[in-house]
Structures are given as C-alpha cells and as structure tokens.
Structure 1
C-alpha cells in the first residue's frame, strides 16, 4: 500500500471516529435530556400529577342523612321524609350518544354514508319521543298498581307527568335536566335500566300527611330540603342531619377498585321533634274557623288553645292555610298563605283586654266584684271623650257588671284608680308588647307605646283594649296567667326533641312570671263568669249570654275593636276585629281558648246566626274539649249582680 492509500485510509478512520463521537455525544445529550425530564416529572410534577390521577380515579359518595320527623303530642306524624328518586339526564350528551349508536347500527346494517346521514336525525327523534311517551306510562302505571292513584281528579291531573314536558327537556340545549321528581325508587331504577342516559338520583320527599291541618305551624321545606316556613325553618338545624361521605377509586370503565374504600364517615340522621299540638283538636279548630269565616263573611279567623297550667299550645290555627300537597302557585294566587297569623299579625284586642284592668284593680285592693259604681254614659279623660256601646244615664253597675256588660266608662273609672304608671307595670307583667318566646319564626311582639310616650288620650284607650296591638297567642297567654293562679308561663309548642340515637334532648324550662296573687286570679276568673250570665229581664245579662255550656262554669270576655280607616286615619265605624278569650271550666281551669274574627258581617254560626261575636266559636271549641276529655260537670254557682236595683 502506497503512502497515498495510507493517508486516505487514516482520513476515513478519523472521519468515522468524529462521527462516532458526534453520534455518541448526541445520544448522551438526548439521554441526559430524557433523564432530566424524567427527574423533573418525578420530582417537580410528580405530586401534582399523582393528585390529578387520584382525582380522576377517586369518587366521593354522599350518603344523605334523613330529616327528622315532626309529630304531635300523641306521636301522630305531621311531617316525615320518604326516600324517592329524581330522573335526570344530560340532553346534549344523550343526543350525541344516541346519534353515535344509531350511526353504528345503520353501518352494521349495511347502509351507505349518504343513507345514514339522511336517516340518523329522524331515528334519534324517534328514540326521544319513545322516552317521552313511555316514562310517564311507567310512572303512572306503578301508581295505579300500588293503589296510590289520587281520588281527587283535579289533584291527579296536577301531579300527572307530561310527555310534552319531558320531550321539551330532552330537546333542551343543556347538560342537566330533571325529567321527573318524586319517583318511586324501584320505578326509577326500571326507567334508568330501560332508557339510555337516564339516571335515578337520590331524592328525599318531605311528606305532610295531614295536608293543610297544622301547616301554619309545621311549615314546609324547599326542593333542596331546606326549611322555608314554620317549624321546618325555625328548627331546621335540629331536623337536618349530617350527610355521610366515603371515597373509593374506580377504573376507566367505572368499576370499583377493591381495597380503595377510605375516609368513610357514616350519616347522622336529624332529630325528631315532638310538638304539644293535638292533631285531632287542631283539625277541629281549623274546620270550625273555616266554617265561622264562611258563615260570618269575615276576611279571616284565628284561634289558639293553651293548656291552662303548662302554657302548652294544643292548637294554633288560622283560615286560608296552604295545603303543601296541592298546587302551591294556584293556592297562593287564591289568597292562601304559609303565614302563621296567630303569632305574626297583631291587632287591637278590644274589650277582651279589660281583664288586665280588672286583675290590676283587684290585686291593688282598689275594688271587689260586688262594689257598686255610679257609671255615667261617657267619661272625659285628658280631652278624650269615651262612651259606652249603649246609651244610658248614670247606672249603678257592680265591678262584675262593669266587665260582664263591658262598660268602657266603668273600666276607665277603675283605671283612674290604678294610675298610669301602675297600669303600665301590669301590662309589662302580662307580657304586652313582648314576644311570648314561642319556638316559631316571625313572632311579632305586638305594639305597646312606652309609658314615657303616652299622650293625654293614651290612657283613655289602653285599659279598654285600644291603642295597642296583640297577637292571638298573646291574648291567650294573658288569660292563661289568670287561669294558672296568676302565674304566666311562656307558651311552648315543642314538647321534646329526640336525637337519632333515641336519646331525649332536654329542653329549657319555660319562663314563669308571677303576675298577680292566686287569690286575685281566682277572684278575677270567677268574676268573668258574669260575661255568660243570662237574665230574662236583661238586667244581669252579660255580653256572651246564650253561649254557655249547660252544667259547666265558663269565664271569658268579648271584644270589639275598631279598625283604623286608612283614608281618614280615624277609627272606622264599620270595620272591626271581633275577639273572645276564655277559660273552660272556670271552677277548675283546664283550657284557655282565644278567638279572633276579622271584619265579620254577621254571626259565625250556620246561616249567619250567633250575633256579631266570637263567643259562639269559643263555645264550640270548649264544648268539643270538655266532651273529648270527659270533664266532670261544675258545681252550681250563684250568678253575679251586675246592676244594683
């Protein structure tokens, strides 16, 4: 080999070595980059990527807590929760998947691309219409089989599932629609199995088995289970439980990965609330009020029944209460309401408030039932002239007669003996101008001007029940204090709360206030029997004559309060609140009943009989209670002399 060939060979070897080194360097550089990238991914991005992967695999499952029941004093259910399902769908995704399914099926059937494009939309629409038609049939068919079909044709039509509504939702441009709520779990599972894309989501249905009975007390929950009205709202934190949670990993096809269940926390159901309400009595009182409203042509009617000694609310009712099981929009448009007017809508009580003046005067030793007063037909107080409801000259009324006949003038004569400051003290003791403390929302304290703001005419109004406003519950509370030997007990409507473990949660004891002595209370209650007295000559007749219950002593007071004319700002001569509050029986008090009729045009009994008075309603409720409790008859009692002759 010559030198030239040797140089060429060495040159080629050098080139090969340089190329090898370059290739090796390139591989080394690439390897270094890959190792560095891998290290970066593992060290810097690793935790975040791991979290993302876990998030993609992990599924958090919620175990809904069951809302506590609301029951009456005997354990009858007023509200309870029933499990159901909501049928839901993602319309956009459903139509996309149905389109893919139909295209695949037509392709398998050998159709051309052109034929597939021409027919796919119609086929998808056929599936949607089948769903819209068959789902209602499955739901209504299950109702018929289970005997749950509503006997009320109108309500059945309101609750019927509409095929048109379902089809509209299936056509919606949205990712989530609720097709039907409140579906039986078994039916929902069948629908979800038969129709692609339909899910059966868990849903709790709050049931109100008594309809409108007690609904003003119980209230209602919203679609998402939150308390909206009444006790459902005020006791929402007690009734609502704590949802359980758990986490589990799933595979790409949605299958659970064994051994990955973690962070499991069981659900804690809500507590049960037992009320003092008697559902049978509540039903009777509501029915009686509705009848009284219709008979008297009144705008509204209210009533409260208390246990005379414990202050427990046995019934609390008003007319026009919503039935939560019916069409709410329709009912609200008709004037029905969720409001509990007996605690939220105060009004001037009228002469029913005179019992405070009577009790104060007796407690202060300023009079007794037999004292004779010379009562003129009118009285002037600080420039305000007040008259009695009937025209008379100076009359020799006894103290019992002043209240039995409801003399405004005689009541103000006694109030003058008491004095403004002392009278204001008694109003405070009886709880006027204060909330009662009842465990319900939206209670009004009423209206009572503070004594420092009393004008010359204020003291001419307050002792006869004008110039201040009470709720029906406050009215009942005043009479409860006297029926209970002069001790006012804060009204209570919750008897007990029972936790999900069955343990009773102690309730705070009701506040007690000594208003007057036992002797004064007995004397006052006994004296107000005069309201029911009936004298053929009329001399010793009370304002509630003819409304007694044979064999029983009753005590109470009628009331007529003028409403303010909004146009003139003065008291109306044609618009009134008609009230009555009383105690049954008077000799051994068991019940206190307070009633209000708003602008009655005639009597509350059938055909408008009974006079423009709420006393007949008191009599009906008291008679029902006496008969139901089989209360022994009262001993004979001497009538009071109301007018000395």
Structure 2
C-alpha cells in the first residue's frame, strides 16, 4: 500500500513537477545566432564580414576526467591547463561555462576528434560568428568594432548596429546520455534572421592613400596627432576620413586608447586662420568690402588689454581684402570685420552651421563651441575673425568649404551609401546657404590667389585651379592660461575649382612645433584623387 501510494503520488498527484524536471534534464535550448550584415566600400570591397565559428563550452556535470579534458583544451585552444580547471571546477559553473568563444572551425574539428578518440566527455559546441576586417587598419576607425557578443561598439558597427545584427533564432533539442545532443531531436525552432548588408561611401583605395599621406606628413612634422577628410561637395559622400593614431579592428590588444574614434568628427578645436574665409565671405556678402577694397593695417592693434598682431612681423601697410587673405593677416581681418560690425559675422557662423553638428552618421559627433553674441567682447570679436576663441571640428570646416565649392549649397556629410540587397538609398538634406553669386565667385578667386600668390603656394597643382586656405592656430594652455609658445595646430582646407570634380579636402596636424604647413599633405591627397578619378580641368 505504501509503494502503491508513492507511485500514485509521483505519477498522478505530483506528475507535472516531475515531468518538468525530466524535460529539463533531457531538453536544452540552443541559440541560433543571426549572421551579421557585411559592410562594403562604395566599390563593393568587403570592409567587415562575419565568419562562422564555434563557442566551446562545458557542462561540468558530465566532465568525468577534468585533468585529461583540460590538457586537451590547452593543447588545442591555447591557455593553460590550470585556467580551464578553474573554469570547470568553479562552483558557479554548475551546468554551463564558456571555455573559449569564436574558435575557428578547423580547430574545433581537431579538438572534437581528439576528445572522441579518448572518450572524454562534457565538452560541447555552440554556433557563433566572428567579425573579421579584411583591410585591417585601413578604414578601421570608420568601420569600427564589435564585442564578443556581436554588438557594435564603435564606428559604423555601432551606428548601424540594429540594421547589421539581425535577429537571433533558437531551437529546443533533446539531449541524451552525458548531455550529448540527439540527432534530429529538434522539438521546436525559430529561424534566425540575418542582418542587412550596408554599402558605405568610402573608397578603400583612396582611404589607404589618405591614411598613408597623413601618416607620412605628420611624421615629417614630428607629431602623432592629425586628421584628414576627403568629401564630395556635391553629394556629401565622404570618400576618406581618418585621424592619427589609426586602429586595426583585428588587433585591439595593441590599439592606442585614442584610436577608436575619428577625431575629425568627435573633437573640436580652435581652427585658426582657415576660419578667415568665414569672415571674408561675410564681408563680401554684406557688401562691406570687395576683394580690391583697401584698409590700413598697423603692425598691431590693442583691445581689452590685449594686443593682436600677425603671425609674422611686418611694417604697417594699406592692404586689400585679397591681400589680407593671401598673407593671412590677423590685424587686417579683425579691422575689416570691425568696420562691418561683429553681429553679421555671428549671424553667418550660425547660418553656415559652424555651431551645430553636421549630422554625419557616425557616433559621438562634436558640435564645437561659440559664445552667445551678448558675451562677445571686443577682443573676443577680433579673435573669432581669425579662428581663435571659437571651436569647430575639421568636418564642420570641410562642410563649409564644400558649400563654397558647391556654389552655396550645403550638403550633409554621410557614410551610408545604400543597402545593397534592397538597393534602398537614404536621402540626405541639402540646403542653399549663400545665394550671392558674386560673393561666391569672389571668395573662390581669393582662395585661388592664396595658393598662387599667398601662404598656400606649396599645394599648387599645375594645370588645376586649387582654391584653399592655410592655418597656423595657437593652442590654449589649460595649465598656465593663455596660449602655448611656439606650438601650433596646422590646417589646410580647399578644393579644385573649374574641374570635373567637387572633392573637398581638409588636412590638419596638431601640436606641431614652429610655423609650418600641411599643404604638402593636401597636395599629395588631391594629386592621388586626380589620378584615381581622372579629374580634368573644365
């Protein structure tokens, strides 16, 4: 009667609970990871792809010979026997513990065979994918990286994580003796949905050339901090963009802590004389001056107990607006804008979008800084006319010069070109910023003579109308106040006018000792672009 009562209790009264325990013992839920979408450059070259791998894990309940199993794990997977023993014997690893993730299939096959031959149990394998970057360092900062779970954490991998990652599936499967999956023992399954592929605007061949030119140029300038941007002014498509130091997504162990982000997008700085083009265009738009208008420029001017002077000593002289831009005169541009009034300059900075993010599809974009007009002192107004006391990003400056090259129409810089499988192409905002055709023609002419007759001669390219502006910006000293002595942030920004291309280039090198230039880097990049895209004069 006791045995019969017990059987009735187990099989009738409490059968649900014991049935659930039995099912939990013989059934297991297995994840089916979605394959992450591929990232291509504009020519279809793979920048990021997913390779099928296996996660190796153990169920310590079925590991009958831990010492022998751990010895084989160390032999095939690397690491030490002691490390694997600690994982398997850890009290928190009651029924599941990862031994190593994203292991190559060939390594898994040899491990399986070796364990099976010795009849060693308790080790299992889970489908997984590893993110690989065939071009290594080239465009590594733009593409970004994923964590071990396949989620994007930087760059385009993060920006488009939702589109790229897809949706994981799963299946319930029966397991037999010692936890071994039973073939065809699938009870229920949900298919994984693979992620979408994306094609970006980068040209990996041009990206490689830009990265090389920037690295070699900055090495000559004795700095390890620089940025470069190459963008199509007509579309906003970014063909190449990078910042030193570079990052190889395949080798994060040796990556510099500053390398994961593109500082041309994420870090604002005081741009210096490359900003004088903003002041000059405002003077032309308001009709305050023409390129031939003259103004008397003393050696120095005083304001609010400060003294403004040019970067190079010169005698007092009467200069035209064209000469002021050609010779990059701080005194000349300050007095010219003061004659107009500082308010139009402030308004144009807002109109040109130099105080707001460009809207590029890249995480962490900075918008820079500019004080409200009510807080401008006289010296602040002077400083801003030549790019000090205001901060912008290299990409914001690139967009501004692109607006000039594109006849007053500003485009949105972007990195996503299309979704190849659906051929869906996102639309990006364009906006007419300057409608004064004469002012645009004059500022282009003035930027042209900066290269032919002024401070930018080093980047002149025979047969082409290079229009550009140089910059040698002082660097604020947060410790001592004021600006550092004899150390500068250099820049060169411009485009080729009257040609079959509207590519705009910015090159910057930071913390450079002495007044030098990045014009030769600009020239190297644009010369490569001329050859690669068969650019010709119109």
1:21 corresponding residue in structure 2: none
Pair 1:191-2:191 in alignment = no
| In structure 1, distance between residues paired with 2:440 and 2:535 | 22
2:167 corresponding residue in structure 1: 242
Aligned residues: 527
| In structure 2, distance between residues paired with 1:61 and 1:177 | 14
Contact map agreement 1:484 1:589 (CA 8 A) in 2: no
Indicate the SS of the match to 2:465: coil
Pair 1:69-2:10 in alignment = no
| In structure 1, distance between residues paired with 2:174 and 2:460 | 75
Deviations 1:210-243 (CA, angstroms, capped at 9, x unpaired) = 1111111111111121211111112111111101
1:632 corresponding residue in structure 2: 536
Deviations 1:353-374 (CA, angstroms, capped at 9, x unpaired) = 0111111111112222222333
2:187 to 236, 258, 261: 261
| In structure 2, distance between residues paired with 1:260 and 1:582 | 63
1:219 to 144, 151, 154: 144
Greater strand content: 2
Contact map agreement 2:465 2:497 (CA 8 A) in 1: yes
1:481 to 400, 403, 413: 403
| Distance apart, 1:601 and its partner CA | 3.1
1:84 corresponding residue in structure 2: 53
1:551 to 453, 463, 488: 463
| In structure 2, distance between residues paired with 1:617 and 1:411 | 27
2:448 corresponding residue in structure 1: 529
Contact map agreement 1:299 1:600 (CA 8 A) in 2: no
Pair 1:503-2:503 in alignment = no
| In structure 2, distance between residues paired with 1:582 and 1:34 | 92
1:358 corresponding residue in structure 2: 280
Contact map agreement 2:207 2:241 (CA 8 A) in 1: yes
Pair 1:321-2:246 in alignment = yes
2:29 to 60, 73, 76: 60
Which ranges in structure 1 are unaligned for 5 or more consecutive residues? 1-26, 99-123, 137-160, 534-540, 603-610, 635-645
Q: Computing the radius of gyration over CA atoms, which structure comes out larger, 1 or 2?
A: 1
1:407 corresponding residue in structure 2: 329
| In structure 1, distance between residues paired with 2:422 and 2:371 | 45
Relative distance call for 1:589 and 1:465 in structure 2 (3 A) is farther
| Distance apart, 1:205 and its partner CA | 0.9
**More deviation, 503-512/457-466:** 503-512
Indicate the SS of the match to 1:343: helix
1:292 corresponding residue in structure 2: 217
TM-score (norm: length of structure 1): 0.76
Structural mapping, 1:131-530, within 5 Å: 131=72, 134-135=75-76, 161-162=78-79, 165-166=80-81, 168-170=83-85, 172=87, 173-174=89-90, 175=93, 178-195=98-115, 196-197=120-121, 198-250=123-175, 256=182, 261-262=187-188, 264-326=189-251, 328-332=252-256, 337-381=259-303, 384-498=306-420, 502-530=421-449
Indicate the SS of the match to 2:525: helix
Contact map agreement 2:500 2:537 (CA 8 A) in 1: no
| Distance apart, 1:620 and its partner CA | 0.9
Relative distance call for 1:130 and 1:252 in structure 2 (3 A) is closer
Relative distance call for 1:508 and 1:588 in structure 2 (3 A) is closer
Contact map agreement 1:479 1:592 (CA 8 A) in 2: yes
**More deviation, 384-393/350-359:** 384-393
Contact map agreement 1:383 1:456 (CA 8 A) in 2: no
| Distance apart, 1:93 and its partner CA | 5.1
Deviations 1:398-433 (CA, angstroms, capped at 9, x unpaired) = 221110111112211221233222211100111112
Relative distance call for 1:60 and 1:40 in structure 2 (3 A) is closer
Greater helix content: 1
| Distance apart, 1:525 and its partner CA | 1.5
Deviations 1:513-562 (CA, angstroms, capped at 9, x unpaired) = 424434422321122111112xxxxxxx3001232111111001001111
| Distance apart, 1:338 and its partner CA | 1.1
Indicate the SS of the match to 1:530: helix
Indicate the SS of the match to 1:310: coil
Relative distance call for 1:400 and 1:337 in structure 2 (3 A) is same
Which ranges in structure 2 are unaligned for 5 or more consecutive residues? none
| In structure 1, distance between residues paired with 2:148 and 2:393 | 31
1:101 corresponding residue in structure 2: none
